[in-house]
Amino acid sequence: MKRLLIAEGSEDLAALFRAALPAHEILIDMPQPGEAPIDYLVVGRPKAGLMVALPEVKLILSLNAGIEHLLRSGEIAEKTPIVRMVDDGLAEGMTEWVLAEALSWHRNIRLYERFQRELRWQPQAEKLAHERIVTILGAGALGTPVARHFVAFGFKTRVWSRSGRAIEGAQSFAGRDSLVAAVTGADILVNLLPLTTETENIVGSDLFNAQARGGFFINGARGGHVVDADLIAAVDSGQLSGAVLDVFRIEPLPESDPFWRHPDIRVSPHVAAPTHPRIAVLEIARNVMRFERGEAIPHLVDKTSGY
């Protein structure tokens, strides 16, 4: 019987796995010396040393879309494949969150909430979607559905990625040399990139200054993409009218962080695209069965590119 270990898992999560993989032994505790080896390891953010203690693992399955912490741990053997968590629930959740924040800014909803608290009746000049430019950084499993929804709403949509993946109705940009051009004049900038050595600190003053004055920034990817001081400076100067951040370099966000108290930067506690246990378990179970049948597994991590 194949054995699957859920690192720091709960009995509730184990019960879902036992229902999805009835022919497998599901564990939430580390095996004892002399026990049969672990074949599959399901991880979120594992403690240091875990993967070193399990060198026989054949497949690592992440509960998260982001896997930069696994690669940077230095504990995973080069031969051991890693599968990112990409499921319909993650894409749906991220699309809902990004569109909600973008439309709230586009239609001045947050501004009118502030005016209500101040007892101010002050209508603003309103634009239609086709008068706005949206640039999305990332054309993967999250960026692609988000871009398609912006297109459906009528926004002038641009997508920047390493490969220049084509998305119907959107203008595609490829490679670092085209990054500033992709952002130039954008009213809304959305970051949905994977975090790698190449994309760390990729969103800074050069991109904020390229946006349309008074634009808006949405970060649903990773805190490490953004130069925090540059974002605060862009908002303080009026180059950006505001930003919403769901991810941060340190989480939970320390109470001393200036983002908490900035009137034009909204803090969201990493809830844009939460993992839904039932959906995630079914996706992992499908990948385990694919592995055992010798079939191709989607969303295998390319350790060279970092995602």
Residue 111 shares a structural domain with residue 203: yes
Residues 6+ apart with CB under 8 A from 75: 48, 49, 50, 51, 52
Question: Cis omega (within 30 of 0) on the bond before 252?
Answer: yes
Residues 102, 59, single domain; the answer is no
Residues 80 and 100 in one domain: no
Predicted TM-score (pTM) of the model is 0.94
The reply to whether 107 and 249 lie within a common domain is yes
> What is the domain-level CATH number for residue 22?
3.40.50.720
- The whole domain housing 13 covers 3-87+276-293
Which tens digit of pLDDT belongs to each residue from 135-163?
999 999 999 999 999 999 999 999 999 99
Residue 96, sorted as left (phi over 0), alpha (psi -120 to 50) or beta, turns out to be: alpha
- As annotated, the active-site residues are 222, 270
Q: Is 156 inside a domain boundary? A: yes
What pLDDT tens digit does each residue of the chain (307 aa) get?
Answer: 999 999 989 999 999 999 999 999 999 999 998 999 999 999 998 888 998 899 999 999 999 888 898 988 888 888 999 999 998 899 999 999 999 999 999 999 999 999 999 999 999 999 999 999 999 999 999 999 999 999 999 999 999 999 999 999 999 999 999 999 999 999 999 999 999 999 999 999 999 999 999 999 999 999 999 999 999 999 999 999 999 999 999 999 999 999 999 999 999 999 999 999 999 999 999 999 999 999 999 999 999 888 8
Q: Are residues 77 and 156 in the same domain?
A: no
163 shares a domain with 53: no
Say if residues 272 and 94 touch (Cβ distance below 8 Å).
yes
First to last CA, the chain: 31
| 184 shares a domain with 59 | no
Pair 136, 38 in one domain: no
Q: Which of 267, 285, 301 is the last residue of a domain?
A: 267
Within a domain: residue 302? no
Question: How many domains is the chain built from?
Answer: 2
Question: In this structure, is residue 301 part of a structural domain?
Answer: no
Spell out a b/e string for 76-89, using b for 16 or more CB atoms within 10 Å of the CB, else e: beeebbbbbbbbeb
pLDDT tens per residue, range 174-219? 999 999 999 999 999 999 999 999 999 999 999 999 999 999 999 9
